[in-house]
Amino acid sequence: MPREEFLKMLLLSTKVNLAPWSGPKRRPLASDLPSAGAWDDPYLRAALALGITEADAQGRLQPTLPLTRADIAELLFRFDHAEKKNHVQALVTASEREIAGYFAAVGKKKNSEAAFAASRLSVLSDALTLADTRSDVVRGTASVSQALTALSDAWTAARDGKKEELQIALGVVRAITPQFPSNPAFDTIALNIVKIAQAIEMQSVSRK
């Protein structure tokens, strides 16, 4: 059975609330799930939010991959953890991977991959916020998600020569990064984001 079919069956049969993951302003999650309007998108999105599936090293969700018995067992094990609210650490770990993946994609000048990573991080940060709003890590992850999404928007606007959209996106980045929690990990992320934003702006000026 393909991953997408199994996740649909699992989530519908257990009456998981799909509403938070079915909104109209969704962004594509991966190169192999390029349309946020695809029928399987809400199920993959909810599975990410529950920590029961994640992108592979290439940033793919592999929705049509046939599942083995071992794959199904692992998905059910993760779902059980999510049902018991024991999935917060898994979401934090997945968020850390997506942040690292974003910066790796930027380093390779692959904006589409970076944008996909930012979209997945957005889902994870929303899920973390629903699970635990008290933690600095959770609040920080939500802020990083917003900043990286804005950074991808700035990159796209600069590429397309849309100066007004570029300045709006960079303004969002500048407004959000000072809100990161004060600790070495978030300080490093903020520094990298500011450097990338400056590079995007400089490249935009040089094209005039």
Instruction: Kindly tell me if the per-residue pLDDT of 24 is higher than 80.
Output: no
Confidence band of 33 (pLDDT split at 50, 70, 90): confident
CA distance linking residue 90 with residue 34, whole number of Å: 25
- Span 108-129, average pLDDT: 91
Residue with tokens 């796209």: 156
133 confidence band (pLDDT: 50, 70, 90)? low
Tens of pLDDT, residue by residue over 155-180, are 889 988 899 999 999 999 999 999 89
- Is the distance from CB of 88 to CB of 131 less than 8 angstroms? yes
Structure tokens at 176: 């959000």
pLDDT digits (tens, 9 = 90+) for 69-93: 999 999 999 999 898 888 888 898 9
Rounded Cα distance between 155 and 148, Å, is 10
Give the type of residue at 31.
Answer: S
Q: For residue 208, name the pLDDT band (cuts at 50, 70, 90).
A: low
User: Measuring CA to CA, how many Å separate 69 from each of 6, 66, 79?
Assistant: 12, 10, 15
Place of tokens 């996106």: 169
Q: Are 16 and 52 in contact (CB under 8 A)?
A: no
pLDDT of residue 49: 94
- Which architecture does CATH list for 88-206? Up-down Bundle (1.20)
DSSP string, 105-119: HHHTT-HHHHHHHHH
Residue 134 pLDDT > 80:
no
- 3-class DSSP assignment, residue 184: helix
Q: Residue 2: helix, strand or coil by DSSP?
A: strand
Contact criterion met (CB below 8 Å) for 102 and 96: no
User: Across the strands, what pairs with 66?
Assistant: 2
Integer CA distances (angstroms), 166 to 6, 60, 152, 169, in order? 41, 28, 10, 5
Span(s) in the chain for CATH 1.20.58: 88-206
